[in-house]
Chains A and B, each alone.
Chain A
C-alpha cells in the first residue's frame, strides 16, 4: 500500500510491471490499447486499483480509452468514495 501514490502513478507502475512500458511512454494522451492493455488487462488494472486504494468499482463502469482518461476516472472515484 502506497497511500501517497496518485492514480497516474499507479497506472504507470502497473504498466511497467505488467507490460514493461516505461513511464515516459505512459503519457496521459497515450491510448491504453496501443500500450498493450486489452480487455482482460483492464480488469487486472481495475482490480489493482480497488486493491491499492481500498475502493469498490461499480460493474457498469465504461472502459477508459487513454492513460489520462483512466487516471481521471480513478481520481474521481477516489474522491467520490472518500
Chain B
C-alpha cells in the first residue's frame, strides 16, 4: 500500500482565553495561565477548585440555539472547534462539488455527555421525578460530538469516537492519521472535547487525590508540572480539532498547510490502572519515531503529557531519557497544561495543536510556574520561559492515560 503524506490544513479550538488560535498561542508564549478559581452553587457543598473554563464561548452565536439545544456541553465545544478547523482549512460547511462520502470524523472524549446524565440523576434522585428529559440519550451518548460533526459537515465516511481517558483525542488523531496515510480517506476531521465540570466527575477526581488545590488568589498558578512544588493537576473544559488531509489533495485545492503529521505510536503498559510505566511509554515513543521515519536526534521539541502529579511526571521524564539517551539533557520539553489545564478527552488535541503551532511559528511555549524542577524530573531541557526563533524541525506530543494507554504523535515543520 502506497503511503500518502498527511497535511494538517485546519486547526480550530474553543480557547479558554476567548480569542482565536493566534491569541491562544501568544498567551501560551507569554506564560499566561487560563486557570481560574471555580466556585459552584451546588448544594450543600459547592465545588471550590482551580479549573479552566471557556467563559466567552457563546454557543448560541456559534452553533445557533436550535442545534445547541440538542447537545451536551462536550458536543457543543467539539462541534464549535470542528467548525473552526473546517473554516480554517478553507472548506465550505456544506458539500459543494466534492464527494465527501469517504471523508470522516475521528473524535476523542473521556467523559461524553456527563452533564446530561448528571442532570438526569438530579431529576430522579434529588427531585424525586419519575422521568428525565427525552433528549437525555442523545445528549449523553459518547459519540454525540462526532455524529453532530459528520451531520454538520456532510461527511459520509467513518464517524467514530475514542474513549481512552487522557489519551482519547491523541488516539483519535492517530487513528485519523492512519486512515489518511493509507489512502482510505482523503480528509479526516479529528480532535476531542470534554466538559468535566459535572459535580460528580469533579468529586471523583478529588477522591483520587490528584487535584491541585487553590483559591481565588492562587488558582492561576495551581498547575506546576515537573516542579518541585507541584501539587497535582487542574481539570478544564475544552474542544480542539484538526483537519488532516492527503497531501496531494491539499495541494490540488491550494490549501494552506500548517504542518505535516508524520508518525503515531500507541501502546499499553498492561501493568496497572493508574500507575504509569516508563517501558510502555518508551515503546510508544519509539513506535512514533519509527512510524515517522525520524531519528531521536531529529526531534527538537516535546510537548509533554505533564499533568503535575507526583507519580506521573517523573515516569514521563524517565521515558524520555530512555529514548533520547544523553541527548535528553538538550531536548526542549514543556508541559502547557500548566496554562490550559487538563481537558481530559480534549487534551491530546489541544496539545497537538500547540505542537503544530510551535513548529509553524518556530517558538516553544514554556512550562509556566515551573520554579525549581523536582530532582526526580531532572535530565531534560525544561523550557521555563518562551523560546522564540528556534530552528524546530520535528516535534512530539505525548498523551499518557489512566488504564496504561499511551499515545505519541509526531509532527514535522513545513518550510514555506
Seen from chain A, the residues whose Cβ lies within 8 Å of a Cβ on chain B are: 18-20, 36, 40-41, 43-44, 46-47, 50
Contact = CB atoms under 8 A, between A and B. Distances in A.
A44 B65 contact: no
A43 B134 contact: yes
A40 B70 contact: yes
Nearest to A16: B65
B69 A18 contact: yes
Contacts of A18: 65-66, 69
Contacts of B134: 40, 43-44, 46-47
Interface residues of B, number: 10
A2 B66 CA distance: 24
Given A44-B134, A47-B131, A36 B70 contact: no
A40 B65 contact: no
Nearest to B68: A18
A43 B69 CA distance: 13
Contact of B135 (A19, A36, A40, A50): A40
Contacts of B69: 18
Contact of A20 (B66, B70, B131, B133): B66
B38 interface: no
A20 B135 contact: no
B138 interface: yes
Nearest to B133: A47
Contacts of A50: 131
Interface in B50-78: 64-66, 69-70
Contacts of A46: 134
Q: Which of B66, B133, B135, B138 has the most CB of A within 10 A?
A: B66
A40 B64 CA distance: 17
Given A18-B69, A20-B64, 11 more contacts: A18-B66, A19-B66, A36-B66, A40-B134, A40-B135, A40-B138, A41-B66, A43-B135, A44-B135, A47-B131, A47-B133
A77 to B, nearest CB: 16
Nearest to B69: A18
A50 B135 CA distance: 15
A44 B133 contact: yes
Contacts of A43: 134-135
A66 B69 CA distance: 22
A48 B97 CA distance: 42
B6 to A, nearest CB: 37
A38 to B, nearest CB: 9
Interface string B65-103: 110011000000000000000000000000000000000
Contacts of A40: 70, 134-135, 138
A19 B65 contact: yes
Contacts of A44: 133-135
A20 B65 contact: yes
Interface in B143-167: none
Contacts of B66: 18-20, 36, 41
A50 B138 CA distance: 20
Contacts of A19: 65-66
A50 B64 CA distance: 26
Interface in B109-134: 131, 133-134
Nearest to A35: B66
Q: Which 9 A-B pairs have the closest CB atoms?
A: A43-B134, A19-B66, A20-B65, A47-B134, A18-B69, A36-B66, A47-B133, A44-B134, A44-B135
Interface in B13-71: 64-66, 69-70
A20 B69 CA distance: 11
B307 to A, nearest CB: 38
Contacts of B131: 47, 50
A18 B135 CA distance: 13
Contacts of B135: 40, 43-44
Nearest to B123: A51
24 contacts: A18-B65, A18-B66, A18-B69, A19-B65, A19-B66, A20-B64, A20-B65, A20-B66, A36-B66, A40-B70, A40-B134, A40-B135, A40-B138, A41-B66, A43-B134, A43-B135, A44-B133, A44-B134, A44-B135, A46-B134, A47-B131, A47-B133, A47-B134, A50-B131
Nearest to B132: A47
